[in-house]
A and B are shown apart, each in its own frame.
Chain A
Amino acid sequence: MEEKTKYSNPYLIGFLLGLLIVLTIYLNGNGVGASGAFKNVVVGTLNEIAPETSSQLQYIKEFNASHTESPWKGWLVFQVIGVVIGGFVSGLVSNRLKFKFEKGKNVKSKIRLITALIGGMLFGIGSQFGRGCTSGAGLDGMAVFSVAGFLVTMMIFGTGFAIAPLFKKLWL
């Protein structure tokens, strides 16, 4: 194994994360999230760089019609900026800042590059169908006892468990 780095107690982190979600729900009736911010950023970018072409797209039309404010000003966008800063500060404090290409020990860099990109794309597409990702749909959904939240969580992790053996070489 490589460097041993000390992480916090998972139950404590989970407890604090749960409290944070309750606080967010108490404040705005909504929880934390990530994938929604990606959508805002993509729509915002398309509106900037190719306003004519993108305004022809049905999805963008509907998005712009249902959102009065600029997608850049979405609360999730700011929250995600916070996540990046928070992650950075935490890494700084715990001495984990380092440029690194993290991959399984027998995996070529090219393969890791491709799988990271495809994995990200699948998450991007899947989070649209799921109306949120692991945090926004799964965790927040479970917090408010929503059936969709429980279902999407079970589908994400269930699929992961089911197909993990097929992709063993990527990680072990």
Chain B
Amino acid sequence: MGPIFPEANFNLVLALIIGFIFGVLLEQAGFSSNKKLVGIFYGYDFTVWRVFFTAAITAMVGVLTLSHFNLLDISLIYISPMYLWSVVAGGIIMGFGFILGGYCPGTSLCAAAIGKLDAMVFILGVALGVFVFIVGYPMFEGIYLGSFMGAPQIFDLLNISMGLFTFIIVIFAFLSYWGVGILERKINNGESYELTSKSGFFKIFALATVVAFVALFMSPYKQTLLADFNSADFGKDANINLISSDDIAVRLLKNDNSLQFIDLRLPNEFAKLALPYALNATPEEFFLPRVSDFINQKQKITVIYGGDEKLAKKVAVLAVKIGFNPNKILVLKGGFNEFMKDIINFEMPKEQPNSSILKTTYLFRHEYNGRIKEILENSKPKQIVLPKSKRALGGCG
């Protein structure tokens, strides 16, 4: 599942190839000419609008599709952080730079590559600008790091689904193409840079509408699964293997290392007492490397437990749906509450047990509950290990 190289300065040859394609596309679009680029601002050439918007919606549909089919984990990709006033100021400054300079940094490289001397001067300017920012950084730091709002995504801000947002923007894009074509003709006395024939355009528009409707019904796999997970019936009929408190107690006494534990309770409950070396995690974290690395380590079998067994059972089903091996996942029968009641706080019942097995069990519990409690106490984590995020680094600032 992507991203494949989240942490890496990944393969630099690949970077070169991707850059090469990027350069060819920009140049073929005509972005090696400043007249073509600023055309958008004076209305005589909307090529920038067409290319930029089409690239954006294609990429959005692509990202949505990949995450729908669980090929891309959108919680791991780089989402540009939102420093409100820094973004606003940066955008305005760049707007001025665009009108004055006639290029943006990417396109200036293409233009310089085909021999545009003014683009070479522009490139020098960009480097100088970055230098000015670096030298003046103490002055800019306040606004640069101020008004931080996390890394919000637009569909959350608008409180609609990712699919609905994609639907709206794809339709909007194509209506705008129609609009800018009219504008272009008006400003150029009948001439337009619309290179698609009228019938061709309607064909693309029809296709885009279909794509938009498909997008409307897609949502990231993780989100779909979590929505299912939160429904009452989730995992009701699934067959999950249980392990009893006594079984675990025996293994603890024998120093059996084949089991490892995931504790779903709240952190404060977990801190009080938990099974040895358990990982305290939320169901959502089963999508993250923190939990997946834990489950996948070595040959261990993972026992999932919560206060009772209900949540743990659902989480076990979720884990299997995410793709963990069902044979390596167990759920603690009755949850940690029952473990406390039956083992740690065990009290010999007054009436005689009616079977010899039960009698042995009671004797075992009575004999060893102090020792088990000791094992649990001694294995408490010395310090809380913070989850290590593998979200892609980077950005372009």
Contact with B along A110-131 (1 / 0, CB 8 A): 0011011111111111111111
Q: Which residues of A contact B13 (CB under 8 A)?
A: 78
Establish whether residues B80 and A80, one from each chain, have CB atoms under 8 Å apart when the complex forms.
Answer: no
Establish whether residues A20 and B81, one from each chain, have CB atoms under 8 Å apart when the complex forms.
Answer: no
CA of A84 to CA of B134 in the docked complex: distance in angstroms? Answer: 25
Q: Is B316 an interface residue (CB 8 A)?
A: no
Q: Which residues of B contact A15 (CB under 8 A)?
A: 54-55, 58
CA of A25 to CA of B8 in the docked complex: distance in angstroms? Answer: 13
Q: Is B88 an interface residue (CB 8 A)?
A: yes
Q: A10-B51, A100-B115, A144-B74 are in contact. Are A136 and B396 (CB under 8 A)?
A: yes
Contact with A along B26-42 (1 / 0, CB 8 A): 11111011111010111
A71, chain B: closest CB distance, angstroms: 11
Interface centre among B13, B122, B394 (most CB of A within 10 A): B394
Q: A27-B10, A152-B91 are in contact. Are A134 and B106 (CB under 8 A)?
A: yes
Q: Which residues of A contact B384 (CB under 8 A)?
A: none
Q: Which of A8, A42, A120, A155 contacts B122 (CB 8 A)?
A: A120
Establish whether residues B123 and A120, one from each chain, have CB atoms under 8 Å apart when the complex forms.
Answer: yes
Stretch at the interface among B14-22, B240-248, B270-278, B300-308: B14-22
Establish whether residues A22 and B63, one from each chain, have CB atoms under 8 Å apart when the complex forms.
Answer: yes
B212, chain A: closest CB distance, angstroms: 14
CA of A15 to CA of B61 in the docked complex: distance in angstroms? Answer: 11
Q: Which residues of B contact A120 (CB under 8 A)?
A: 97, 101, 103, 108, 121-129
Q: A132-B396, A149-B80, A150-B154 are in contact. Are A60 and B134 (CB under 8 A)?
A: yes
Q: Which residues of A contact B100 (CB under 8 A)?
A: 115-116, 118-119, 122, 167, 170
CA of A19 to CA of B65 in the docked complex: distance in angstroms? Answer: 12
Query: Which range holds the interface residue count of chain B?
Result: 35 or more
Interface centre among A27, A84, A86, A96 (most CB of B within 10 A): A86
A63, chain B: closest CB distance, angstroms: 8
Establish whether residues B15 and A78, one from each chain, have CB atoms under 8 Å apart when the complex forms.
Answer: yes
Q: A129-B93, A142-B56 are in contact. Are A121 and B42 (CB under 8 A)?
A: no
Q: Which residues of A contact B35 (CB under 8 A)?
A: 102, 104, 171
Q: Which of A60, A82, A116 contacts B18 (CB 8 A)?
A: A82
Q: A69-B9, A82-B22, A129-B93 are in contact. Are A13 and B51 (CB under 8 A)?
A: yes
Stretch at the interface among B135-143, B334-342, B357-365: B135-143
Q: Which residues of B contact A29 (CB under 8 A)?
A: 2-3, 5-6, 76-78, 391-392, 394
**A118-B97, A126-B96, A128-B397 provided; 4 other pairs, C-beta below 8 A?**
A32-B22, A34-B109, A34-B396, A135-B105
Cross-chain pairs A/B with CB under 8 angstroms, 29 sampled: A14-B50, A18-B62, A23-B18, A28-B6, A30-B78, A31-B396, A36-B395, A79-B19, A86-B25, A91-B113, A94-B28, A102-B34, A103-B118, A117-B125, A117-B128, A118-B100, A119-B125, A120-B123, A124-B97, A125-B133, A126-B89, A129-B143, A130-B397, A133-B104, A134-B94, A137-B397, A139-B59, A140-B396, A170-B102
| A residues at B contact (CB < 8 Å) | 5, 7-11, 13-36, 38-39, 41-43, 46, 57-60, 69, 73-76, 78-91, 94, 96-104, 112-113, 115-164, 167-168, 170-172
